Amino acid sequence: MLATLTAFAITSAARLITGARALWLGCTPQPVQRLYFANHSSHGDFVLLWASLPAPLRQRTRPVAGADYWARPGLRDFLIRQVFNGVLIDRQRGEGQGNPLQPVLDALAQGDSLIFFPEGTRNLGEEPLMPFRSGLFHLAAAHPGIELVPVWIANLNRVMPKGRALPLPLLCTLSFGDPLHLLADEGKQAFLERASRALLNLAPKDA
């Protein structure tokens, strides 16, 4: 009950503070298994994307998040496990310690939809998008039937700029693009560049 009430409070607050609009430009909110991949500039990115989904989709969509930040005793751990039902990955795992993407692969195998950030970490630089890491390619190769939907999140990093206690009244938009699939014989670099272009094409001209 507490997790359900917290989820309602978070989704309501996210929409109220940001005035978030979901623009379904290349697809519609259908109950099919998807991997939503988005740009990443704020810890609130997955919260806003998750909150922007219709309730039936939100119930079956899980954010992928770094265990080093979220899996700490207390509020963060409660939120990521009980409220968001997140998939935690160990970003600090070294070679020979297993596949860090295994929890994500397991979640896809059981039919979950996911929210994924292919840059791997928050983009705090001037470029609109950092190079994608290889994870998106490996997930697409392992589950070729899943729709990969690019989502550009605009303005969230401006709503709560670093050092500000109160949010600025700026409208956030989430633009959902055309679903992608890994093409036959498509190499890793070619696929990642195509996915990156698909995401950048959704960005506002001044992003």
pLDDT digits (tens, 9 = 90+) for 26-39: 999 999 999 999 99
The amino acid at residue 203 is: A
* CA 71 from centre of chain: 17
- What are the tokens at 146? 């899943």
pLDDT at 110 over 90: yes
Of 65, 174, 196, 50, the closest CA to residue 128 belongs to: 196
Return the H-helix or E-strand segment holding 106.
helix 102-109
Q: Are 108 and 139 in contact (CB under 8 A)?
A: yes
Task: Give me the residues paired with residue 24 across strands.
Answer: 176
Q: 159: pLDDT confidence band, cut at 50, 70 and 90?
A: very low
Task: Check the CA dihedral 67-72-73-74 and report its sign.
Answer: negative
Which pTM does this prediction carry? 0.88
Work out the average pLDDT over 65-91: 89
Q: Give the CA dihedral 156, 180, 35, 142, nearest 10 degrees.
A: -140
Helices then strands, counting H and E runs in the chain, come out as 9, 7
**pLDDT of 15:** 75
Give the model's pLDDT for residue 160: 46
- All structural domains of the chain, each given as residue ranges with its CATH number in brackets, are 2-200 (3.40.1130.10)
Amino acid identity, residue 136? Answer: L
- List the structure tokens of 129: 């998008």
By CB neighbour count within 10 A (0-12 exposed, 13-18 middle, 19+ buried), where does 152 fall?
buried
* Structure letter (DSSP) for residue 13: H
Contact criterion met (CB below 8 Å) for 61 and 50? yes
pLDDT computed for residue 169 by the predictor: 43
pLDDT, position 123: 82
